[in-house]
Amino acid sequence: MEKKISILVVDDDPGMRETMLDILDAVGYDAAAAEDGYRAIEMIREKAYDFALMDIKMPKINGVETFKEVKEIRPSTRVVMMTGYSVEDLVKEALEEGAYGIIYKPLDIQKIVDLIEKAEKGCFILVVDDDPATCETLKDVLQEKSYKVGVAHSGKEAIQFAKENDIDIIFIDVKMPVLNGLEIYLAIKEVNPNMTAVMMTGYREETAELVEEALKRAAYTCIYKPFDTDKVIALVEKIREERRKKAFKKSRQGWWL
C-alpha cells in the first residue's frame, strides 16, 4: 500500500485548521494540526512529517522561529509558510532560512496541492551529451542528491524528451553531432521557456562562439570538462534557489520548485 503524504497544519485560527484538515483529508493526505508553534515542535519531534504548512504570524512564537526549530529537529520536513498579512521582513527571513515556499491567504487549495505534488516529484534535470560516460557520471552524482534525472544522447532525443516532460534544469553539451548544443537549447527553449540551461563543453576555444551566443540567449552559464562534481551540485542548488526567488517575485499567490 502506498504511503500517504503526511502534512502538519500549524495555525492559531481554529477555523482555518479545521478547514485545512477537512480538505487535505479529502484529497487523500495524512493531515494533522497544531494550534501554535510550540505544539508543532512537539509533534515534529514525535513524527517525521513530509510537509508543514505554517502560519507566519502566530502568538507565543511566530512561524519563522518555529520553522528554525523544526529545521533542527527534522531537516527533511519541507516547510511552506502561510500569511494573510504584510510581513515582508518575516517572509524574507523565512526564505533566507530555506523555507520551501510562501503562500498567501485566502488560500488557493489547488495551488497547495500542486505545490505538494511538484515537491514530491522533485527537481527534474535532463543531461544531453553524446558521450555515455558523461551522462552516467552526471546522472549518478545528481541522483545521489535525490534529483530526478533523464539523459539524452542526441538533439532529436532531447527535444522529444522536453516535449514529454516538465524539465527544470538542463545540461547540454555544446559539441554534438547533427544538432549542436546551441540549436538543441533554442529548440527546447521554445517548448519550455521556463527551464534553466547550463551549457557544457570540453572544447573551450572551438565552441567559444556557440557558448557566447547561448549565453546571449539566456543560457545560465557554461561549465567546462572535466567537471568538479561538488561544484556541479552547488550550481544546481544555486539555480534552484534563484528559481524559487524569481517565482516568488513574479507571483504573490505562491511559489515553489
The per-residue pLDDT for 87 is 66
- Say if residue 127 is in the same domain as residue 233: yes
The per-residue pLDDT for 76 is 84
User: Mean pLDDT in runs of 10 for the chain (257 residues)?
Assistant: 83 92 91 95 94 91 92 89 74 73 79 75 87 94 87 96 91 96 96 94 95 96 93 90 65 43
> Would residue 193 count as lying in a domain?
yes
Which DSSP string do the residues of 37-77 spell out, in sequence order? HHHHHHHHHH---SEEEEESS-SSS-HHHHHHHHHHH-TTS
- Say if residue 84 is in the same domain as residue 180: no
Q: Is 233 exposed, middle or buried (0-12, 13-18, 19+ CB in 10 A)?
A: middle
- Say if residue 166 is in the same domain as residue 204: yes
Q: Which among 68, 96, 120 is the end of a domain?
A: 120
- Say if residue 64 is in the same domain as residue 133: no
Output the pTM of the full model. 0.63
- Say if residue 113 is in the same domain as residue 126: no
- Say if residue 129 is in the same domain as residue 111: no
State the cell numbers at 114. 500542486
- Say if residue 132 is in the same domain as residue 209: yes
CATH of the domain at 46: 3.40.50.2300
Q: What's the one-letter identity of residue 208?
A: A
State the cell numbers at 31. 493531515
- SS3 state of residue 104: strand
- Say if residue 133 is in the same domain as residue 232: yes
State the cell numbers at 222. 557554461
Helices (H), 217-228: none
How many separate domains does the chain show?
2
State the cell numbers at 161. 524528451
- Say if residue 58 is in the same domain as residue 106: yes
Helices (H), 74-180: 88-97, 109-121, 132-144, 155-164
Nearest to 79 by CA among 68, 93, 92: 68
The per-residue pLDDT for 257 is 40
Contact criterion met (CB below 8 Å) for 188 and 170: yes
108-117 burial, b at 16+ Cβ within 10 Å, e below that, comes to: eeebbeebbe
Domain residue limits at 230 = 122-240
- Helix 14-27 to helix 109-121 angle, to the nearest 10 degrees? 50
